[in-house]
Structure 1
Amino acid sequence: MASAQANRRGILLMLVAMGCYVFNDVFVKLAAQSLPPGQVLAVRGAFATLFVLAIARGTRGSWRMALRPLVGVRCGLEVTTALASVVALSLAPLATVSTLMMTAPLMIAATAMALRWEPWRGGRLLAAAAGFGGVLLVIQPAARPDVPAVGLACALLCAASLAARDLVTRRIPATIPSSTIAIATTLAVCLAGLLLGLVERWTTLTRYELGMLAAAAGCAALGNFALIVACRGVDLSVVTPFRYSLIVWALLLGFFVWADVPRPQAAVGVLLIVAAGAFTVWTARRP
């Protein structure tokens, strides 16, 4: 069992990591209003690749490991996740997208039990059902003319891709360094953006748009680093539920940047998803 001080440090870093992820989404949403998805992925991916390469210095000689089939599958899922996220953020409110994306742990729990990777547990099944009920409450109030259904569908697709990506990551051998996986997936997203550019009409980037995408890449890199440190030397059953602070960050920034206010039904749905996800994570971490 970790010390109280270590757990407090882990909670603080988890809050910082989730804040960085939401700021990444804010900057992407601001840039995606005037840029096609492929251009957003390519430019942000280029900046992210520079950040990741700077962090992952000293991993020479391990690049062949990136050619493993499971790493390739993870790269494909990372591309799907990034593309769905950009499209969803360009069409739907930030808080709605963030809330729907946080159903990924529920999808992971349900899939792991369905595949018999984990034992069936009645409590986790009930939590998953409650969480998906919360999804319906979040979607229904948001289904208005200014929020296209495709935006909500892309947010759910992003959550499903996140869940599948994490399940695949569990199967990747520990002998493959995390830095190699990170660089491979970052390059894959950048390349996917360049390929999408063949069927898109790219525009000349302004300093504002470049700044937004560079800031997004920096926030994502900082969030990844903070998340890794937050989960080391702590009790994960204590720290991991604070992942759901991401929704609080999204609600606050959505209000201050775009004046988005969730309707009462959506607020109830958010609470259901947070409670169900936190319970699922907590039960998964118990001995």
Structure 2
Amino acid sequence: MLVAMGCYVLNDVFVKLSAQQLPPGQVLAVRGFFASLFAVALAWGARTRWRTALCPLVGARCGLEITTALTSVLALSLAPLATVSTLMMTAPLMIAVTAMALHWEPWKSSRLVAAAVGFVGVLLVIQPSARADVAGSGHACAVLCAASLAARDLVTRRIPGAIPSVVITAAATLAVCLAGVFLGLTEHWKALGRHEITALAAAASCATLGSYALVAACRDVDLSVVTPFRYSFIVWALLLGYVIWADVPAPSAALGLILIIAAGAFTIRSTRRS
């Protein structure tokens, strides 16, 4: 999970550097092309089991991978990296509430209170959007991305262990690439320079390794054990956002960030204890 979060933050950095000049579909398609090459190479040893990717749960996960990638690209093109990353970290709270709603775990008022506190933190993070340079739609896309992330992790947990992680990763990257191509039919694509190609190829390699590490982290284990390591994502995002774009969270946004982490930590602790 630590490796996955590090790779995903680097992916977001490279995507943000590209998404400011290119339309979302082109970003998804070009990054997806490179990612597919990496993923197929990674999964080549399991090629005799590629047919297992036809499992309906793998298909559902591919759909959620597409919505996650699309909303992520849109959010990164409209809002600061640290803000987007913080809002994405509400995914563990959504997982906890959904697990209770589906009766996978018993209802507990303490977890509901923790989730409420976390979503108050979300409002505090969004509130500094009194800044004219941050579009509200960027925050909305980040929250939708968090919901898609939560659903993706819940589905991943249900995929049979007989299906190799590399096959799941390859299927997801191919699905995102195809989605980008179809979305590109409605866009005006721009000529790619060396800078954009390099950035998207780097993003693809990070996304592929991150996806494989995340799938491996979420299988055959209680999600409450690995979920705490998700929060390393925020640390790296804050550091890289400051170094590259000089982004510094406002005091209220910093308070919201603390509330989200505290709520997530309490939820995880409660789940592990039970």
TM-score range relative to shorter protein:
over 0.9
Counterparts of 1:23-42 in structure 2, within 5 Å, are 23-42=10-29
User: Given residue 43 of structure 1, which amino acid in structure 2 is its aligned partner?
Assistant: V
TM-superposed CA distance for 1:54, in Å, is 1.9
Structure 1 residue 241 corresponds to structure 2 residue 228? yes
**Cα pair 2:91 2:149 within 8 Å, conserved:** yes
**1:64-83 Cα distance to aligned partner (Å, 9 max, x none):** 32222222111111100000
Assess, with a 3 A threshold, how the Cα gap between structure 1 residues 231 and 176 changes in structure 2: closer, same or farther.
closer
Distance 1:69 1:202 in 2: 33
* Equivalent position to 2:93, from 98, 103, 106: 106
Counterparts of 1:1-287 in structure 2, within 5 Å, are 14=2, 16-224=3-211, 240-286=227-273
Assess, with a 3 A threshold, how the Cα gap between structure 1 residues 190 and 27 changes in structure 2: closer, same or farther.
same
**Cα pair 2:50 2:167 within 8 Å, conserved:** yes
**Cα pair 1:241 1:282 within 8 Å, conserved:** no
User: Given residue 111 of structure 1, which amino acid in structure 2 is its aligned partner?
Assistant: T
User: Given residue 213 of structure 1, which amino acid in structure 2 is its aligned partner?
Assistant: L
**Cα pair 1:236 1:285 within 8 Å, conserved:** no
Q: Which region of structure 1 is more displaced relative to structure 2, 169-178 or 91-100?
A: 169-178
Q: For structure 1, list consecutive stretches of 5 or more residues without a partner in the other structure.
A: 1-12
Q: Say what the alpha-carbon RMSD is for the aligned residues.
A: 2.3
Distance 1:234 1:261 in 2: 36
- Alignment TM-score, normalising by the size of structure 2: 0.92
Distance 1:101 1:221 in 2: 19
**Cα pair 1:244 1:278 within 8 Å, conserved:** no
Q: For structure 2, list consecutive stretches of 5 or more residues without a partner in the other structure.
A: none
Distance 2:99 2:146 in 1: 15
User: Given residue 115 of structure 2, which amino acid in structure 1 is its aligned partner?
Assistant: A
The count of aligned residue pairs is 274
Assess, with a 3 A threshold, how the Cα gap between structure 1 residues 97 and 230 changes in structure 2: closer, same or farther.
same
- Alignment TM-score, normalising by the size of structure 1: 0.88
